[in-house]
Structures are given as structure tokens and as C-alpha cells.
């Protein structure tokens, strides 16, 4: 709060006139971040959505943060380090992004030849679990006091490899 007021040269009184406390201000910022990201995803139409292009989704997210770096820290703070008392509210704010991701994953999976006895529903659940595990790994790194910006860079850098591993696994089917 102090940094916001100092950088913008405004008094805390003005902020508290519009927001009852820091939590309400934080949630308003997160909501704006998600809204801007969602709008950015859809600005050129839903072609990547229809194609189910998961790689393009991640590239678009990275481009969004290049174009709007002010949202980068907010997004990753909400993703990896949400205050415990605000987890439910942040999850609710994330719903439109989660729905968009679901549609993209669904369209992508429809193009793949799934293994025998693996359904689309199981695949979606698997992707959700893997995504949560990936983010949990980085949440634990925060507890190790790693630099947050370095952590974000590492998170984004590894995503293409992790998407490949999630979709195609780590081993060939033949056993030696």
C-alpha cells in the first residue's frame, strides 16, 4: 500500500475512500489482471481456442506480460502465493480463465489419439492435476526464499517442456 501511494503520489486516504482495506484492494487488482488477460486472449477471436492450441495459449500469456508487465507480478502472486485468507475469492475471480483453459484443453484432446481406456474426462482431470502439481512445485520454491522474479522466469521457461511431458509422457511404450 505504501509503495502504491508513494509511486502514484497519492494519499492512503484516497485509496481507503474507495477500498475498505488492503484485501479489497488486492482482490480488485487481481480481478483487473484476470479481466485484462482474458480480454487479451480473446482479442483476435477464438481461433486458438477452436484449434485447442495449448502452446499458443502459453505464448499468448507470455506476450501479454511483455505488453503489460504491471500484471505479471500480480498474476504470479495470485497463482503461486495467494494469501491464505483470500484463496476462495481469488479462485472465484479466476473462474473465466479456468473455463477458457478447459475449453482449450478439451479441443486439444479431441485432436489427439488417446491411449486405450483413457477418456477425455480422465485426460482433463490428469491435466488439471499436473498443472496443480507444477504450480505446487514453484509454491514450495517460494518457501525456500528464492527471488520471486527468478522463480517466475523459471516457471515460464519450463512450461513448453512440461506441456510436452504432460501430453506425451516420459517414456516410449516399448520396454527394453
Contact 52, 105 (CB under 8 A): yes
Contact 116, 36 (CB under 8 A): no
Per-domain residue ranges for the chain?
34-168
Query: Helix H segments across the chain?
Result: 2-8, 12-18, 22-42, 47-51, 54-67, 69-80, 87-93, 95-111, 120-143, 148-168
> What mean pLDDT do residues 37-56 have?
80
Give the integer Cα–Cα distance in Å for 128 and 118.
15
Residues 110-152 pLDDT 10s: 988 999 999 999 999 999 999 999 999 999 998 888 899 999 9
Residue 93 has pLDDT above 90, yes or no: yes
Reading phi first (left if > 0) and then psi (alpha if -120 to 50, else beta), residue 117 is in: left
> What mean pLDDT do residues 100-110 have?
90
Architecture of domain 34-168: Orthogonal Bundle (1.10)
Give the integer Cα–Cα distance in Å for 128 and 101.
10
Residue 81 has pLDDT above 90, yes or no: yes
Amino acid at each position: 500500500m505504501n509503495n502504491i501511494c508513494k509511486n502514484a503520489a497519492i494519499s492512503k486516504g484516497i485509496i481507503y475512500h474507495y477500498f475498505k482495506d488492503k484485501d479489497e484492494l488486492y482482490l480488485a487488482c487481481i480481478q483487473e489482471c484476470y479481466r485484462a488477460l482474458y480480454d487479451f486472449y480473446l482479442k483476435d477471436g477464438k481461433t486458438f481456442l477452436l484449434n485447442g492450441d495449448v502452446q499458443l495459449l502459453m505464448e499468448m500469456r507470455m506476450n501479454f506480460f511483455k505488453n503489460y508487465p504491471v500484471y505479471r507480478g500480480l498474476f504470479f502472486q495470485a497463482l503461486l502465493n495467494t494469501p491464505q485468507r483470500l484463496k476462495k475469492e481469488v479462485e472465484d475471480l479466476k473462474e473465466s480463465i479456468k473455463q477458457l483453459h478447459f475449453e482449450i484443453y478439451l479441443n486439444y484432446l479431441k485432436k489427439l489419439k488417446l491411449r486405450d481406456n483413457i477418456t477425455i474426462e480422465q485426460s482433463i482431470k490428469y491435466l488439471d492435476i499436473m498443472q496443480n502439481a507444477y504450480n505446487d512445485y514453484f509454491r514450495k520454491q517460494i518457501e525456500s526464499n528464492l527471488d520471486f522474479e527468478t522463480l517466475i522466469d523459471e516457471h515460464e521457461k519450463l512450461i513448453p517442456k512440461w506441456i510436452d511431458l504432460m501430453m506425451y509422457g516420459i517414456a516410449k511404450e516399448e520396454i527394453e
